[in-house]
Amino acid sequence: MMIRKILSKLNNERGVVLIVVLILLAVGGLTIAPMLSHMSTGLKAGQTYERKTDQYYAADAGVENAMWQITREQRLPEFPSEQGNQWQYTIEDLNGKSITVTIEYTGKDAEGNDIYKIDSVASDDSGNTAIESHVTFGGGFAFLLDNAITSLGDVTLMPGVVINGDILYNGEISYNPNQVTINGETSDEPIPSWPTATYFSDYYHEDVDGLTCVPDGYTIDITGGTEVSPVLIGPICSAGNLTITGTGVARLEGTVYVGTQYSKVGDFEVMPNCTMQLNGQTIFAEGNINFQPNCTTSGEGCIIAVGDLNYQPNISGEDFVALMSIEGTVHLQPGNDFYGCLVGDASVELWPGTSLNYVAPTEGDINFPGLDDDNYTGYEITVRTWETS
């Protein structure tokens, strides 16, 4: 009896499932179309975003290429050097994009850095994306050669000293104004930057890279060298102390690099009676440098020590010489007038009747970071603005 009642109830509810199915179909019909439309819109938006992202990356690559053009050591002739000048070039088929890059030189900022405007436009069949950026470019250390004396620390001028040029110092300057003559300005304005020993060591080591270094304690005897037929020195690398000796004349034909080996820091020394023709070259020592009295130097050049630099030779001519100590003191006491500049903590002690005279270096003839307009080693680039459209 009970089973019959249950079957009777079930028979009375036939068609309910059909109604439910029809309701579900109706709801599905109402929602599937908008859902598909939303999915289609999302897919298109994703494709558009992907295309714009690809264009942005391509335009970014154009900016990076322009920054490389600005910082490269040897610039192309087309590169703009006058304010308002532009250079436009195209990078073809970078991941299917064509990139038009424009570099414009817009002038200098208050610190003397160059300012460039970079426009990079990446295009393909779907459109384009543009990036506009302003960058500053400056540095190097050529500014260290702009004064008679440039010191991150102290300057000491002994009685009787005559300085014909400006003095920039960031420590203390010590002298008796009644016994010292300075024909120039003295300033304690901050020095923008100061090189590290590592930076200069790396810079000048490139000039002797691949050479076999002579051992610590090596001596070069220049006896017999004459003005007409001097003993040629350089490029040369020394793994420790290097000494020039003998009665004769030597001419530098490349960088003299005095380095370190097994914790032995190399010093460079020129003994009495030696004559050194600097010939536009650089002597760099990771230790100290000593030019003893009664030796002679001539010609332009740079003499740079990480430690102390003691310079007491006779000087032939009025060519520019840069004397620099990165971490020590430059002690100048030549036998006659000195022409050039001192960089580093300075102690100047001149013989009566002699003077320190600032003269500008001959551009391109001195091996010093940032001095050559065609070499931008040591310069830095800074992004000031970056806008996308």
Give 78-112 pLDDT, tens digit per residue: 999 888 899 999 998 877 889 999 999 998 876 66
Q: What is the pLDDT of residues 201-218, one digit of tens each?
A: 988 999 999 999 999 999
pLDDT at 199: 86
Q: What is the pLDDT of residues 249-293, one digit of tens each?
A: 999 999 999 998 766 789 999 999 999 999 999 999 999 999 999
Burial class (CB in 10 A: 0-12, 13-18, 19+), 314: middle
Alpha carbon distance 172, 180 (integer Å): 16
The residue type of 296 is T
* Torsion sign, CA atoms 148, 235, 278, 373: negative
Least trusted range by pLDDT, from 124-128, 156-160, 165-169, 242-246: 124-128
pTM exceeds 0.75, yes or no: no
* pLDDT: which is higher, 363 or 353: 353
Arithmetic mean of pLDDT over the chain = 85
pLDDT at 168 over 60: yes
Nearest Cα neighbor of 163 from 340, 330, 304, 331 is 340
Length of the chain: 389
φ, ψ dihedrals at 194, nearest 5°: -135, 130
**What is the dihedral angle through the alpha carbons of 136, 139, 145, 151, rounded to the nearest 10 degrees?**
110
- What are the residue ranges of helices labelled H in the chain? 2-12, 16-71, 197-205
Bridge partner list, 278:
none
pLDDT tier at 362, thresholds 50, 70, 90: confident
The residue type of 152 is L
Per the CB < 8 A criterion, the answer to whether 131 and 63 are in contact is yes
The whole-number average pLDDT for the span 60-79 is 87
Nearest Cα neighbor of 284 from 194, 199, 221 is 199
pLDDT at 11 over 80: no
